[in-house]
Structure 1
């Protein structure tokens, strides 16, 4: 089942023909599809060291190329900041009559993709995640601040989307309780100036081995944002004890921590109904994150949230 309208198919032989101008010595057998929960790209591995990402959804090719160029700049900047390996941009491929969109060629980072529970009880992973966030927060924004309509700016601007998600989730989730949780967080004020952020720290974008963080993927959207935004990773990946450990390591105030929970909610609430039949991995992530948020709310309904009342 297709995840999106206007979804593009990408036969392997077409991918090989598109990649050949960038890699004249390409051996077709070295190009293979990567099974992943990616929602925006067809991901292919090219030999032992490279990866290619082809857009899943059609859009204006000129606009898409400009977006890829911006992503490559963000990836290069993130690679300079991150204490963990991350893909580096190499080239942008041209569209063709067989595939109407430009695409990205980048380095391949080996590792196992994390899951909502695979490192949930790992103290070492919580420490690694804190090290990543600390490194990002320590980097200079060079006078930039968050811009755009995605997550990372004003929580309240996402209220219409959340309300739509709640309506669409009536047969899938405890929407009354979830709605009450959101209503207590959507108007939380900012806790500080923008910092450098990954902006999409979901399990699919983190590589792990032996309970440690070994790589960070999909940094093309990284940039300045609300310092609470990357705290979504705590709710996507960690159990209660490890979240407490991360929070202490980061020195998060109650306000900042609650804003992080609100950003996690805003991301997770759309995953279940939208991907319920087309991407079970993403739907399961939505359920897991929302369950953690509800569990935390039930266990401390007036403690960490007291400042909101």
Structure 2
């Protein structure tokens, strides 16, 4: 998927575990199928999942990102109405893999798709409960950091225009440009930043017995515009449950339009990038773009 992506071999993973986590030496390692774009996943025994960044490096910055992700997981664990990943350790670069990596307790479940969800309206209300819980956590005066999702939507204009230009043969870019022009100007009456997940994609939501069971992949958790976490209204939910989600969150028209804009930002950037390399991500992008036009 990425020009600088590395292949992570099972024997390399097993050797790194044996060297750095002796208590887990000898546990079976097997790769987990994933359509994710950031990490290679491995099941270690019955209780552990290992996350190896696909684009590793030995810089303190990457280790800092992984450490912050685990700090966020600990912060959220007692505050979320569903499970979040439980950190178990951080690994170091070693032979065969030039970067830091992370270990978490395995959470059983399947990634969210409509045919795996028993009641889309109930799912929408459960997900709204997660977003409400996030927004209710004290930020301690933090504000958006200046990078990643969560800042002014209009700052995404150049990237969206470039992605639209690259997608002429893939989607209705004219109609999407009109929606984007409306969304990027949506006002923000409440300037207070909140805790947000910032990447509520179907692959980051786990379903068990048809219900929302966990929210995973916390590397994007930050403080920013809560409209970002409206993205599932378009990337996963149907028209009816989309309205259920909106009512459960009680958002105004301008916030809803900013959420639509963030869904468009994610999808139009993903579509041309993954259309050849990740069919699942490209299909989600197409679905999202169709929904934002409704």
Q: With structure 2 as the length reference, what TM-score do the two structures score?
A: 0.95
Question: Within 5 Å, which residues of 2 pair with 1:155-174?
Answer: 155-174=153-172
2:290 paired with 1:294: no
CA apart distance, 1:120:
9.2
Q: Which string of whole-angstrom CA distances, capped at 9 and with x for unpartnered residues, describes residues 72-116 of structure 1?
A: 112221223211011111211110131101101111111011126
Q: CA separation in 2, counterparts of 1:271 and 1:120?
A: 28
Which consecutive residues of structure 1, in runs of 5 or more, have no partner in the other structure? Answer: 296-309
TM alignment of 1:35-114, pairs within 5 A:
35-114=33-112
Secondary structure class of the residue paired with 1:48: coil
1:120, 1:237 within 8 Å by CA — same for their partners in 2?
no
Task: Go from structure 1 to structure 2 and tell me whether the alpha carbon gap of 1:210 and 1:136 turns closer, same or farther (over 3 Å shift).
Answer: same
1:9 corresponds to = 7
Moved more, 86-95 or 22-31: 22-31
Equivalent residue, structure 1, for 2:229: 230
Equivalent positions of 1:203-282 (< 5 A) are 203-282=202-281
Give the whole-Å Cα distance in 2 for the aligned partners of 1:185 and 1:120. 32
Contact 2:197–2:222 (CA under 8 A) maintained in structure 1 = yes
Change (3 A) 1:58 1:220: closer
Distance 1:204 1:150 in 2: 19
Q: Is the 8 A contact 2:198 2:222 kept in 1?
A: yes
Distance (Å, rounded) in 2 between the aligned partners of 1:264 and 1:196: 18
Task: Give deviations 1:134-171, integer Å, cap 9, x for gaps.
Answer: 11121111111111321111111111110110011011
Let me know the Cα RMSD of the aligned residues: 1.6
Structure 1 residue runs of 4 or more that deviate by more than 4 Å after TM superposition? none
Q: Distance in 1 between the 2:79 and 2:151 partners?
A: 22
The equivalent of 1:298 in structure 2 is none
Paired with 2:161 and 2:178, the residues of 1 have a C-alpha distance of 11
TM-score norm. by structure 1 comes to: 0.90
C-alpha contact (below 8 Å) 1:53/1:103 kept by paired residues: yes
Indicate if the aligned counterparts of 1:88 and 1:107 stay in contact, CA closer than 8 A: yes
Alpha-carbon distance in structure 1 between the residues aligned to 2:155 and 2:6: 30
Which stretches in structure 2 are left out of the alignment for 5+ residues?
none
Deviation at 1:11, TM superposition (A): 0.8
CA contact (8 A) 2:17 2:25 kept: no
Q: How many residue pairs align between the two structures?
A: 293
State which drifts further: 53-62 or 104-113: 53-62
Distance 2:66 2:75 in 1: 14
